[in-house]
Structure 1
Amino acid sequence: MTDNSEPRIRRRTVLLGSGATAAALAVGAVGSRQPTAAEDETDRTAPVAAAAVCTLTKELTEGPYYLDGALVRADLTEGKPGIALKLALTVVDNSTCAPLNRALVELWHSDALGEYSGFVGANGHQEPDNGTFLRGGVLTGTDGVATITTIYPGWYRGRCVHIHVKVHTNVTLTSDGSFRGGRELHTGQLFVDEAITTAVARVSPYSTNTVARTTLAQDGIYGNGGTAAGLMTVTGSPSAGYTGSLALGIAQG
């Protein structure tokens, strides 16, 4: 299973901050420091503040495993085993850096053994596939923040650990809990520092994934703009779980 084929790039977006500004705001930089014992049990996810400087960056490929009609929900896990990952993603308008209210932030990614719902079996792992695990999204609040609970992704052939993301506006929420329509403003991918993935790979069920792991340095998509586009700030540990944050500036024009 691999989604490093020719990228389908359709739009351009921005990521907040650059250089020292980005590091100070935890935008596009990774904190791999392990927490103290007191911090270990504390949820440290916090919205990333909007910056005064916005830097244009490329989108990244949607890949072959996107499915329309994802559920609108804050918890994507559906009982999938893995290390908890809580995300706070801040969406802002690139021209004003003002937070976007009611933007739908949609995520999808593989499970600990590298399988996507709707495509189970391609990484050598077989189980009934209900087509929705580790897929879904939420609307941002007035602060532009979407808070989502999932698990740390696994890996599959040819790709580093990553999470796919789309941002939509003006969506219609349906009676079955999904969304339809709207305007798609951003397609990208979220990444995590390699040291954190190395620690995760030692823990079950990730340790049972027998597929050779592709690192960030070996990944063609990450190397083609991923560093600027989606390297999250992540803190935590395998025992307590992880929290991640990133700010995305969206071009609405």
Structure 2
Amino acid sequence: MPPLSTLDRRSLLRALAASPLALALPAAVQAEVAAAGLISSDVCMLQKEVTEGPFYLDPKLVRADISEGKPGLPMQLRVQVVTADCVPVVGARLDVWHCDALGVYSGVRNLGGGADTSGETFLRGTQATDSNGVATFQTRFPGWYPGRTTHIHYKVFLDDNTVLTSQIFFDEAVNAAIYEDNEAYARDDARDMLNGQDRIAQQAGEGAFAAVRMTEPDGHMEAALVVGISPEGGSAGLLDWLWKKA
């Protein structure tokens, strides 16, 4: 993939700066976020469980780099798993999977065009959360396919039991800037589904949108999301916890 030009990088940075995820939280909430060691200030937006979708596989690929050389904007994805009282969950298993720049998933016969990627494993992987509850993946910013907005799937496991299945979304200003500026995402067809139209994105709510930023000077993206879970399953009341502290 050719490097982003200065113009492309500026365009993307403008999109990130305009993102509503750059919230102006109350000072007390910001202090709680910092004190709790959380990786993103979007924690006040509660995560919700949504459909798994048809493309989950468990190839048991324990690896941080899931890109396998696929084209697209390099992205470091960090997901922090915490309990309802913001204690990091150490050793949780996090599975992630998503499509490539052209909307193709590995390991399945795909939507549109009937491409067969059976036996392939790109953009899939598993990590255990570290002492801060964080699992980190090196990947590519996902593309799109007809009928869905841009998204990443994930599952959180505790003791081999699924406690949360959900999806990660990105602000439309970010999606548009990347798709317009990076030739790996070039398509003949226009996107037919944006965040505001996507039923699953609407169900997930604002808490499912990653906080993002560009790193300089390499022009890579960093995306972060804090996920509150309950050991009994489902999303935790992180929103209530933070605002009660404010």
TM-score higher than 0.5: yes
Q: 1:73 to 1:129 in 2, by over 3 A?
A: same
More strand by share: 1
**Contact (CA 8 Å) 1:87, 1:148: kept in 2 or not?**
yes
2: CA distance, partners of 1:159 / 1:69? 24
Q: Give aligned pairs, total.
A: 203
Aligned equivalent of 1:231, options 191, 209, 216: 209
2: CA distance, partners of 1:214 / 1:113? 15
Partner residue in 2 for 1:32: none
**Match status 1:113 vs 2:118:** no
Q: 1:99 to 1:183 in 2, by over 3 A?
A: same
Q: Kindly state the Cα deviation for residue 212 of structure 1 after the two structures are TM-superposed.
A: 2.7
What pairs up with 1:58-207 in 2 under 5 angstroms?
58-94=48-84, 96-124=85-113, 126=115, 129-170=118-159, 182-202=160-180, 203-207=182-186
Unaligned runs of 5+ in 2: 1-22, 233-246
**Contact (CA 8 Å) 2:47, 2:228: kept in 1 or not?**
no
More helix by share: 2
**Match status 1:248 vs 2:227:** yes
Q: 1:133 to 1:21 in 2, by over 3 A?
A: farther
Q: TM-score, normalised by structure 2?
A: 0.72
**Contact (CA 8 Å) 2:88, 2:132: kept in 1 or not?**
yes
Q: 1:111 to 1:185 in 2, by over 3 A?
A: same
**Contact (CA 8 Å) 2:99, 2:143: kept in 1 or not?**
yes
**Contact (CA 8 Å) 1:47, 1:145: kept in 2 or not?**
no
Q: 1:128 to 1:188 in 2, by over 3 A?
A: closer
1: CA distance, partners of 2:226 / 2:109? 31
What pairs up with 1:9-24 in 2 under 5 angstroms?
20=25, 24=30
1: CA distance, partners of 2:123 / 2:146? 19
Give the SS at the match of 2:183. coil
Q: Kindly state the Cα deviation for residue 87 of structure 1 after the two structures are TM-superposed.
A: 1.2
**Contact (CA 8 Å) 2:62, 2:126: kept in 1 or not?**
yes
1: CA distance, partners of 2:197 / 2:64? 32
2: CA distance, partners of 1:248 / 1:127? 33
Aligned residue type for 2:222: T
**Contact (CA 8 Å) 1:54, 1:249: kept in 2 or not?**
no
RMSD of aligned Cα (Å): 3.1
Deviations 1:15-71 (A, max 9, x none): xxx99369848x9xxxxxxxxxxxxxxxxxx961699x9886530110111112331
2: CA distance, partners of 1:197 / 1:237? 17
2: CA distance, partners of 1:237 / 1:111? 21
Q: Kindly state the Cα deviation for residue 232 of structure 1 after the two structures are TM-superposed.
A: 0.5
Identical-residue share of aligned pairs (%): 38
Give the SS at the match of 2:87. coil
Unaligned runs of 5+ in 1: 1-17, 28-45, 171-181
Deviations 1:139-168 (A, max 9, x none): 111111111111000000110000001011
1: CA distance, partners of 2:198 / 2:145? 12
Q: TM-score, normalised by structure 1?
A: 0.71
